[in-house]
Structure 1
């Protein structure tokens, strides 16, 4: 039997869209995160996040097809100058959103989610200090995050 992807285990695109909505709401209302995200919601942001998470966790390659893949995501973070406090708050808000929408509290899943979030937010924080998005060039595909450490790009 083939092991389920994290995407499948979480509940697929619908559950990730619900998670992205709950998380993004926190990003625009949390005092630390709103410094980066603002307080006026951008409807497309949660949908883009859901597309990203879908692809990262082993679902269809929708972020690449719709939004330009890994390089596009890197460039979206350019010039944001994300402080460490916001990076950490992003992780906390994501886990709270997962609890809110009923993502499984399976310990291994939660460990892998936190590992991905720590890894991904560190990259976002680093590239956010680059002011010119054009210098952020990547021919790498969207990273795929699996159940085992050796499957992940970290």
Structure 2
């Protein structure tokens, strides 16, 4: 049986390394720096980000149990208007952070990571208006080697 993307990446330590590397890359980016350096950021932002990505990519549901839900994540990022260039930059930082974190260089794995992040950024960008526009109770997304898993696909 094929491992999940989470397992293939190396589990929790790999996602902590990925989130830390991504955060550093965003801080170094002249356009992404502002949203990543504001004083109101959660003190455990990197850990929470790692748990979110880990859960989506096949890991344990730690984000859902300990942090929040998918709707809350979308509400946190809503209300910023058109951010399409920031979205592109965010994806590129994510892709490069996978290198920085030493994630497997397997082309199929890397394609699945990029595909997920492009989808995730597009979803966030669908809520340019106020946070109240985001529906409550959205299911946590799940992503596999072949793309999104839907409720009927999940076991």
State TM-score, norm by structure 2.
Answer: 0.87
1:78 is matched with 78
Taking the aligned partners of 2:82 and 2:104, their CA distance within structure 1 comes to: 29
CA distance in 1 between counterparts of 2:58 and 2:104 reads 17
1:8 is aligned to 2:10: no
1:141 and 2:139 correspond: yes
Q: How many residues align?
A: 150
Conserved? CA contact 1:71–1:136, under 8 Å: yes
For 1:4-153, list aligned pairs within 5 A. Answer: 4-38=3-37, 43-81=43-81, 83-127=83-127, 129-131=128-130, 133-149=131-147, 151=149
CA distance in 2, matches of 1:65, 1:92: 29
Residues 29 and 44 of structure 1: CA distance in aligned 2, closer, same or farther (over 3 Å): same
Q: Relative to structure 1, is the Cα distance of residues 80 and 47 closer, same or farther in structure 2, using a 3 angstrom cutoff?
A: farther
Q: Tell me, what secondary structure is at the counterpart of 1:94?
A: helix
CA displacement at 1:59 relative to structure 2: 0.7
Point out where structure 2 has 5 or more consecutive residues left out of the alignment.
Answer: none
What SS does structure 2 have at the residue aligned with 1:145? strand
SS at structure 2 position matched to 1:80: coil
The alpha-carbon deviation at position 42 of structure 1 amounts to 5.1
When the two chains are superposed, the root-mean-square deviation of aligned CA atoms in Å is: 2.0
